[in-house]
Structure 1
Amino acid sequence: MRNVRVLYIPQGFDAIDQGIIEALRQTVREVYVAEARNMAEQASIVRPDWLFVLNGLHVFPEDHLAQVEAVRAMGIRTAIWFADDPYFTSETVHIAPHYDVVLTHELSTVELYRGLGCPEVIYMPLAVDPNRFRPIKVGTEHRSDICFIGQAFWNRVELFDAIAPYLKGRKVFIAGGLWERLRSYKRLRKFIRKGWLPVDESIRYYNGAKIVINLHRITEQGKDNKNDLNLPGLSINPRMYEIAACGTLQLTDVREDLQHHYVPGVELETFGSPEELVSKLDYYLRHEELRRQIALRGLRRTLQEHTFVRRLQLVAEVLKWTE
């Protein structure tokens, strides 16, 4: 337990925020949580050693950066952990220089922030809360052959349009917004649950699926993103940890740093085209024991290395939080 007092400011990403808060409680002596609109006021009351902010986007107030500067003026150290890189770098480039330390889960943005003169920039992958994302028994209403949960970004639309003929005879569950973009929407509509799916429901569907597809969103500017520099996505999304923590086989597209977190073909499976995805879906749906073995190895790797407790211990080391 580090002898440090931390004031944490959530982004509003329920699964990530709660995982970080619980991990902080196991890592540092005192943890306080405040809303972004009150961060400077709460910092003046609590007087933490560190203000620790997740992401700093979307729901943060217009005076966000003024509040951060006010906190720094109190002699309190500040750190931000970007969880949406590189999709909003048009905004994060204005935020990062106001913090003492910038953590980012995305490899491609490390040099970007260093080039802006940020004094300390650290690559820090995200993780999962295994107390929440875990193997559980579910009823038939949550069971499927193939599951995908996420927004219908255009690359995802193209993929599901391409594999729609294969999905026709399967038990499929798709959830998220914008799926009306599909050319094959009428064909797939019966599989789609529109809108945001609560985290605990997602966990049930991950557990009930034989295979979960994971496809990272496209990064190009103008396609649902604010990425003026068109930085590539090199790092894996938090969904990869979450699916693995449920003990379910996932088929994922490949990001550069995937190999540093999981072993393809051993702890999860990968695909590079719609044709390869269909081939591997068909193969693993017919080979249950192999499917379960890979999923369990992925679960074990996740519990050993990719929990928020493990990640916050690393954060504590790099930020030099004293024991």
Structure 2
Amino acid sequence: MDHKLMRVAVIGQVYPEASARYLSKWFRQLGHEAEIFVAPSTFGISRFRPDLINRVLERSIRLTLELSTSASMRAEKRMAGKVLEWSPDLVVTFDAHLWPDTVRILRAQGAKVVLWFLDALVNFGRQIMFLAPYDQIFLKDPYMVRYCSKVASLPARFLPEACDPEVHRPIEPAPAELISDVAMIGNIHPSRVRLLEQLLDFDVKIWGRLWPRWLESPVEAKHMGRFLAGDEKAMAMRCSKAVLNNLHYGEIESSNCRMFEAAGCGAFQLAEWRPGFDELFRDGEEIVYYRSAGELRDLLEFWLERDEERRAVGDAARARAHTEHTFERRIEKLLEVTF
């Protein structure tokens, strides 16, 4: 369905790989006007300081706002005022913590206001989104879609994450330091470490934010001490033998952004299984799913020796991701449902 060209305000964060950046970019690619308005809890710090100090400051500001309801509301009203000055036709927020009054203000001039929440349900916080008058709520977890629509009677629809084919694409060759038998890209938390401790005898490289000081584990020796983005991330995903996608336990039936990014890069991906994943990528043909640590070890031992077969799976994943799981396709669905 064709839609008129619109002015789209995107509320979110602005670090290099933020979903708000990808979404606004692809709205513009499709001919719309799009502008990012920084979520009040970040104050735009990540635009300038993408390091440890930035994260500490950002978390401190977010905690201060959460502790001070009035300060949070004032910050959001200032942000909403800037959005309305821009006169958007559509507002898409990735921030599920906007106060209901903020959403009402954003709708005051007739714009449609939708939430696209791309985090696990454990990060709903105070669940303010259940009380906010959104025109539509898009969620990546089918379980939460069912709950929100059937129990909470909210206008909730399923819309998973996506890849950007201009960023998430096969790049090779890669420098030796980016290549390993198993690449794991993401944050470190105890449940993930518990799994990785069972893979210490494999050639694993872990890429992501700094290792937590309080967490003691031999897995730390596998951590490369830095975050990968852009071409480096694409090269590590494509050129390592396998990308391990271990999901947070809060992903009840949902995937994460790495599933689509790794697929877009043509990686051979071993992903933790969830119900419904075969509808996203076919098991054994586009992605290989594991259901236990023991099965993961068996799959690694089987697939690491099969270079041509792994490459064929990665190529099939890239074709599927670049066809069905792009931000352009997600925008089409969002507009179809909202308008």
TM range (shorter): 0.7 to 0.9
d(CA) in 2 for partners of 1:203 and 1:302? 14
Quickly say closer, same or farther: Cα 1:136–1:300, change in 2 above 3 A. Answer: same
d(CA) in 2 for partners of 1:189 and 1:88? 26
Counterpart selection for 2:9 from 7, 10, 15:
7
Quickly say closer, same or farther: Cα 1:245–1:294, change in 2 above 3 A. Answer: same
Quickly say closer, same or farther: Cα 1:182–1:281, change in 2 above 3 A. Answer: farther
Structure 2 counterparts to residues 237-256 of structure 1, below 5 A: 237-256=256-275
Deviation, structure 1 residue 2: 2.7
Question: Contact 1:233–1:255 at 8 Å: present in 2 too?
Answer: yes
Quickly say closer, same or farther: Cα 1:181–1:271, change in 2 above 3 A. Answer: farther
d(CA) in 2 for partners of 1:179 and 1:193? 13
Is the counterpart of residue 125 in structure 1 residue 160 in structure 2?
yes
Question: Contact 1:27–1:313 at 8 Å: present in 2 too?
Answer: no
d(CA) in 2 for partners of 1:151 and 1:84? 13
Structure 2 counterparts to residues 64-213 of structure 1, below 5 A: 64-91=99-126, 93-98=127-132, 99-114=134-149, 115-118=151-154, 120-137=155-172, 138-164=174-200, 166-167=201-202, 170=203, 172-176=204-208, 177-178=210-211, 184-185=217-218, 188-194=219-225, 196-213=227-244
Deviation, structure 1 residue 300: 0.8
Question: Contact 2:9–2:91 at 8 Å: present in 1 too?
Answer: yes
Quickly say closer, same or farther: Cα 1:289–1:181, change in 2 above 3 A. Answer: farther
Quickly say closer, same or farther: Cα 1:163–1:182, change in 2 above 3 A. Answer: farther
Query: What code does the residue aligned with 1:205 have?
Result: A
Q: Which runs of 5+ in 2 are unaligned?
A: 41-77
Deviation, structure 1 residue 39: 3.4
Counterpart in 2 of 1:217?
248
Counterpart in 2 of 1:229?
none
Aligned length: 295
Deviation, structure 1 residue 132: 0.5
d(CA) in 2 for partners of 1:299 and 1:178? 31
Question: Contact 1:153–1:218 at 8 Å: present in 2 too?
Answer: no
Computed over aligned residues only, the root mean square deviation of the Cα atoms, in angstroms, reads 2.3
Question: Contact 2:100–2:131 at 8 Å: present in 1 too?
Answer: no
d(CA) in 1 for partners of 2:32 and 2:186? 36
Question: Contact 1:154–1:218 at 8 Å: present in 2 too?
Answer: no
Counterpart in 2 of 1:34?
37
1:173 counterpart SS class: strand
Question: Contact 1:179–1:194 at 8 Å: present in 2 too?
Answer: no
Question: Contact 1:157–1:182 at 8 Å: present in 2 too?
Answer: no
Query: How far does the alpha carbon of each residue in 1:179-218 deviate from its partner, in whole angstroms, 9 at most, with x for none?
Result: 6677641xx4442123544455332321331111001011
Deviation, structure 1 residue 95: 2.1
Counterpart in 2 of 1:222?
none
Counterpart in 1 of 2:336?
317
Question: Contact 1:152–1:181 at 8 Å: present in 2 too?
Answer: no
Higher mean displacement: 249-258 or 144-153: 144-153
Question: Contact 1:249–1:292 at 8 Å: present in 2 too?
Answer: yes
Question: Contact 2:211–2:220 at 8 Å: present in 1 too?
Answer: no
Quickly say closer, same or farther: Cα 1:200–1:69, change in 2 above 3 A. Answer: farther
d(CA) in 2 for partners of 1:107 and 1:19? 23
d(CA) in 2 for partners of 1:144 and 1:277? 17
Identify the structure with bigger relative contact order (alpha carbons < 8 Å, sequence gap 6+): 1
Question: Contact 1:161–1:183 at 8 Å: present in 2 too?
Answer: no
Q: Which runs of 5+ in 1 are unaligned?
A: 220-231
d(CA) in 2 for partners of 1:11 and 1:101? 20
Question: Contact 1:253–1:270 at 8 Å: present in 2 too?
Answer: yes
Question: Contact 1:49–1:77 at 8 Å: present in 2 too?
Answer: yes
Question: Contact 2:238–2:268 at 8 Å: present in 1 too?
Answer: no
d(CA) in 1 for partners of 2:125 and 2:167? 33
